[in-house]
Copies of this chain bind each other. A is one copy, B any other.
Amino acid sequence: MTKSFTGNFFEDFRIGQVLRHATPRTLTGGDVALYNAVFGGRFALASSDAFARSLGLKESPVDELLAFHMVFGKTVADISLNAVANLGYAECRFLKPVHRHETLSAVSEVIGLKENSNRQTGIVYVRTTGLNQDGETVLSYVRWVMVRKRDADAEVKNQSAPRLAAAVSPADLVLVPGIDYGRYDAELAGSPHLWDDYVAGEKIDHVDGMTVEESDHMLATRLFQNTAKVHFNQHVEGQGRFGRRLIYGGHVISLARALSFNGLANAQQVVAINAGRHVNPLFAGNTVYCWSEVLEKAELPGRGDCGALRLRLVATKDRSCADFPDKDDKGTYPADVILDLDYWAVMPRRG
């Protein structure tokens, strides 16, 4: 019997099961720099200690999505090594900022199991919690993923799908403790457009495109200690369904978030992800574009300095977003749309 691990199959999971994931990981300025180098983000709060201090913080918190990917990466070996597809995210909240020199670990609980009718695969729902070195929860999210069965005939008892919220309620959004947008320098942040200026229904073309290379996505995905084979092994994937390596879906989210600076430069914090789907695959050589739609505006209790924007972020490949490519009336996406993400961001208000 070998000591190497080939991952869990659908019938290995049970509802209520708790998985403590390897490997705890200390983030440093090195991780932040690499994240910047790969995605090119320009949001001031995640870029500058001096800017963070001007808002009352001690230092720049680590980009929420970097923390998300680090937590997600840990779950792959236990949850999705035998996954066919990553189906969706929900109820993701960022609960405590992560700083350089803090250590992240992750725990998941299986909250749903649903076998597919062909009995070859089933859907596994997990709620994953990211923890810091003091055991405090820094983020939490649900994802569901289609996982192969080892044995099509295996019986899986106690199946059920969880009820998930359509969106995180604005009352449940958590700001960085101590942050005060009262002396916010919008010019330094890169845009004059504040929370007050956005209206529900408004669409924004983020204009710029970013081409992805094999090295780029593999560097980032390894940085996150994400071990999903499809991202890394051309020797196998060259024989597979796409003939090439598939890019980690989270790579698209971070690229699109970085590109969205052009139009949303003051959306300093991502505080929740309501829903997200990778609707088509991305490959090296493709160029990613994106556009946003303002879904909803919400005041935040007790805060006159900032408000929340619920945003839809849609990314494409090899297609400009000047005409806002979208799903059709039946909910079908064009082949060049790759991401449909629904999230809450916090943005300063006019004084």
A302 to B245, alpha carbons, bound, how many Å? 48
Do B36 and A37 touch across chains, with their CB atoms under 8 A apart? no
A225 engages B40 (CB within 8 Å)? yes
- The contact of A223 among B37, B193, B219, B232, by CB within 8 Å, is B37
CB of A232, distance to nearest CB on chain B (Å): 5
What separation, in Å, do the CA atoms of A216 and B188 have in the docked complex?
28
- Which residues does chain B contribute within 8 Å of A189, judged by CB atoms? 22-23
User: Does A34 lie within 8 Å of B30, measured CB to CB?
Assistant: yes
Which label, helix, strand, loop or mixed, suits the secondary structure of the A interface? Answer: mixed
Residue of B nearest to A73 (CB): B42
Nearest CB in chain B to that of A210: its residue: B232
Q: Which residue of B lies closest to A39 (CB)?
A: B222
Residue A77 lies at the interface, judged by CB distance under 8 Å to chain B: yes
A92 within 8 Å of B (CB atoms): no
Which residues of chain A from 173 to 206 have any CB-CB distance to chain B below 8 Å in the complex? 187-191, 193, 197-198, 204-206
User: Is B233 in contact with A20, judged by CB distance below 8 angstroms?
Assistant: no
Contact A23 B50 (CB under 8 A): no
Q: Are B197 and A3 in contact (CB under 8 A)?
A: yes
Whether the Cβ atoms of B33 and A33 lie closer than 8 Å is yes
4 nearest CB pairs, A to B:
A28-B29, A30-B33, A22-B190, A235-B287
Known: A4-B205, A37-B222. 16 other contacts (CB 8 A): A3-B193, A20-B187, A23-B48, A23-B188, A24-B44, A24-B48, A26-B60, A30-B31, A38-B219, A42-B225, A48-B103, A50-B105, A209-B236, A211-B218, A211-B245, A213-B213
